[in-house]
Structure 1
Amino acid sequence: MYVDSHCHLNFPDLAARLPEVLANMRVARVTHAVVIGVAMDSYPDVLALAEQNDELFATVGVHPDSEDAFTPSEDELVAYAAHPKVVGVGETGLDYHWCKGDLSWQHERFARHIRAARRAALPLVIHTRESADDTLAIMRSENAGEAGGVMHCFTESWDVARAALDLGFYISFSGIVTFKNAKQIHEVAQKVPLDRLLIETDSPYLAPVPYRGKTNEPAFVAHVAEHIATLRGVSAEAIGEASTENFFRLFAKARRA
């Protein structure tokens, strides 16, 4: 039994074949998935998926990759977060790969999401790319540990993972952990405490081996679990059970379908 803690079922590649995607989840024993909010213009679609399907939940947030994207106020984020099927705040964070120059706007957007999550008492879904030091610094300065959350699609070093763990955060692994050359991520996947580990697809992106290069979907999260199990010398069922319990502990607002 598995939970996909981060996917984008509202994106066209998956939304166009949603009944098939949900059926594939059931066959793969993926019982629940979180549809992640990344922009306010697409948020109604994210929320509708969660409202219409018992096995799906939603988050509300604005991704850090676009300066021009509309960002709700802190009060507005808190109001959106009150919806019964909204279980987290984000995807939020910092991205220095796609964004360059003066990124003060990105820092403020991230801090606003953290403050909203603390007020809403919901966990954060954090994106960090080539920005780990500043991400951790803002998390500390804004007391992100009060909200808790997850470092999604983790690709950083063990030192970064340990710092996030020290702040009370969980570490989530995507299909990248199945890639042969992802040695740094393999190390982290072996070291993260079992009670702080989550799995995800980030679908439709980053399909795991043996589907690498194809459109990803929540059913494939089982392969993420299987690879982590191999790295740790345990069964896939043990990873599935632990990551599922971790999910419902972190996203405490989520209810099992």
Structure 2
Amino acid sequence: MNTLIDTHIHLDSVEFYNDLEGVIASSKLYGVSRFIIPGASLETLEYAVRIADLHDEIFYAVGIHPYHIDEILLDYQKDSITDNTYDKTSQQFNTNRLYNLKYIMQTKKCCAIGECGLDFFRLGEYPEREKEAQIACFEIQIQQALKYDLPLILHVRDSKDNQEASEMVASILKKYQKNQGKSKLRGVFHCFNANEILLEFYEDFYYGIGGIITFKNAKKLVEILPKIPLNRILLETDAPYLAPIPHRGKRNESKFLPYVVTKISEILNIPEQKLCSQTTQNAQELFRL
């Protein structure tokens, strides 16, 4: 049986509250042996840690999704931000919320920082101010990743009109690569958005591929997938979201990961076993599992 690692699954989601143990058990029957819970919000971190502590095969990351930057950025509320109330030069961060998590970041079960990054798809009334806030929060988490020598789980989503988020992430990563010190900046582009700008980071970053690759409207991702080195591809579900065809619209689970394997194997014209072995090795190397 193929051994798979789901590198991005929100097991701490309310969607799994009632049958978490069953979800984990059924996924193992389909070859998924390990799971990584990304840190989208500090509010759910305690539960993620508890889940990982109870299961040897589950790991977690510490991070703040672009939609939750109010957790450390003081006086920031997406729905009420205005030109008069938000001043980039006076940004204040409750950085203690991250600094106080040092003991968690240094445990064997913490394997990454994130998911963090930029999401310009759905901005509020004052988009430029919100972008600045997201960038500031993102950079704080990059600094934490370098400080504790952990990889980044990156969330990058462009707007419908342009690729500014991808361009900005690329610019920020380049800046920190030049000044990364002893720790090496590395990570994964979770739910890779098929933007070729991000392919230039393939030497230090991986590319997470999930159920979207099976969608009919994923033509761009299908076209760009062969350009990604095989030793830089990671498998993920982003469950409970983005279930692959033929389960699209249902709650996603790790047990659906074989559908992603089959589709990628077809596109790359390689045996499924080869893909499984390589992506498992990739995950082990990046997250030091």
- For Structure 1 versus Structure 2, the TM-score category normalised by the shorter chain is over 0.9
TM-score (norm 1): 0.93
Unpaired segments of 5 or more residues in structure 1? none
TM-score (norm 2): 0.83
Letter matched to residue 114 of structure 1: I
Matched-pair contact (CA < 8 Å) for 1:207–1:216? yes
Distance (Å, rounded) in 2 between the aligned partners of 1:29 and 1:224: 13
Q: Equivalent residue for 1:202? A: 238
Partner-residue secondary structure (3-state), 2:66: coil
Matched-pair contact (CA < 8 Å) for 1:173–1:199? yes
Distance (Å, rounded) in 2 between the aligned partners of 1:160 and 1:214: 32
Q: Equivalent residue for 1:64? A: 66
Partner-residue secondary structure (3-state), 2:192: coil
Q: Equivalent residue for 2:172? A: 138
Q: Equivalent residue for 2:22? A: 20
Letter matched to residue 133 of structure 2: W
Distance (Å, rounded) in 1 between the aligned partners of 2:69 and 2:28: 38
Partner-residue secondary structure (3-state), 2:43: coil
Distance (Å, rounded) in 2 between the aligned partners of 1:243 and 1:116: 26
Q: Equivalent residue for 1:107? A: 135
Q: Counterparts in 2 of 1:1-257, with a 5 A limit? A: 1-70=3-72, 72-73=95-96, 75-76=99-100, 78-99=102-123, 100-102=127-129, 103-130=131-158, 131-143=165-177, 146-157=184-195, 159-166=196-203, 168-252=204-288, 254=289
Distance (Å, rounded) in 1 between the aligned partners of 2:189 and 2:234: 9
Percent of aligned pairs sharing the same letter: 31
Matched-pair contact (CA < 8 Å) for 1:172–1:197? yes
How many matched pairs?
A: 251
Report the structure number with the largest CA radius of gyration: 2
Deviations 1:41-90 (A, max 9, x none): 11001111111111110000110113422364463454431122100010
Deviation at 1:161, TM superposition (A): 3.5
Bigger shift: residues 23-32 or 76-85: 76-85
Distance (Å, rounded) in 2 between the aligned partners of 1:172 and 1:56: 18
Distance (Å, rounded) in 2 between the aligned partners of 1:23 and 1:152: 24
Deviation at 1:112, TM superposition (A): 0.8
Deviations 1:108-155 (A, max 9, x none): 111111111011111000000011000111111122792300000012
